[in-house]
Structure 1
Amino acid sequence: MFEKIEMMRMARALGQHSSQRQITVARNIANADTPGFKAEDMQPFADSYRAALAPLRTTDPRHLDAPDWSPAARNSVAGTGVSPNGNSVSLEEEMLKAAEVKRGHDLSLGIYSSALDLMRTSIGRRA
């Protein structure tokens, strides 16, 4: 029932995006000392949500879309410095990303909670 309401669908997608981005940030931090490790990041939520609504067009029917779980669905971080051992993780940038992830997660919970309160009120129940 709730998946038909666009606001609920968007809040759920934002929560899932925040969860996936938290995993990516945690992986980057865990590999901060791994030689040759390249930091990764996911595309912004607005771009990924827009792409989910309008799937990629293929030029040939034999082409396959990249699944969400594949590394091709993520963007590697560009413009960060690389240490002498080839590692491109910046702990400062990863901590900023973690704060953005928390903000996105809190926003999705707030939207979801407000939408539930609105629905409860519309059917005559108090929150």
Structure 2
Amino acid sequence: MFQNLNVFQTAMALAKHSGLRQALSAQNIANADTPGYRALEIPDFEATLRGSAHHQRATRNRHLHGARPDHVPEPTLRRDSVDPNGNSVSIEGEMMTAVEASRGHGRALSIYRSSLNILRVSLGR
């Protein structure tokens, strides 16, 4: 019964997405001086969820129940400006991405904790 609660699945998907975003940012920063390196990125979580809406299907009138895939998006090459050596990493941009990823992970943990507390109260524990 509690395995299929969408709030937990969404919180887990946000945590995975934030973890991947942080890992890509770290990889980009590590290669900031590598000639010809193209920075990798993934879309933000909202765009990822919106993109998965085509997998939903209506099971009865006025009810939409869809199975959202639990995979994270594939990284793509960043199309921003490129330095003369062919590198597209911006340290300032990566710092902003890392902060956004940290906030997303914190948000996922807060949602998870809050939902767990609601379940505990509803069960009387």
How does the TM-score come out when normalised to structure 2?
Answer: 0.79
Q: RMSD between aligned alpha carbons? A: 1.8
Q: CA deviation at 1:87?
A: 0.4
Structure 2 counterpart SS, 1:116:
helix
Q: Distance in 1 between matches of 2:17 and 2:81?
A: 26
In the alignment, what sits opposite 2:7?
7
CA contact (8 A) 1:42 1:74 kept: yes
Percent of aligned positions with the same letter in both sequences? 43
Corresponding letter in the other structure for 2:104: G
Q: CA deviation at 1:40?
A: 1.2
Q: Distance in 1 between matches of 2:10 and 2:72?
A: 19
Q: Distance in 2 between matches of 1:86 and 1:3?
A: 47
Q: Distance in 2 between matches of 1:105 and 1:124?
A: 29
Give the paired residue count.
Answer: 110
Q: CA deviation at 1:52?
A: 4.0
Structure 2 counterpart SS, 1:34:
coil
How does the TM-score come out when normalised to structure 1?
Answer: 0.78
In the alignment, what sits opposite 1:75?
76
Q: Distance in 1 between matches of 2:3 and 2:78?
A: 33
- More strand per residue: 2
CA contact (8 A) 1:31 1:37 kept: yes
In the alignment, what sits opposite 1:123?
123
Residues 1:97 and 2:106 are matched in the alignment: no
Q: Distance in 1 between matches of 2:86 and 2:123?
A: 58
In the alignment, what sits opposite 1:28?
28
Query: Which aligned runs of 4 or more in structure 1 are off by greater than 6 angstroms?
Result: none
CA contact (8 A) 2:29 2:89 kept: yes
Gaps of 5+ in 1: 56-67
Corresponding letter in the other structure for 1:121: V
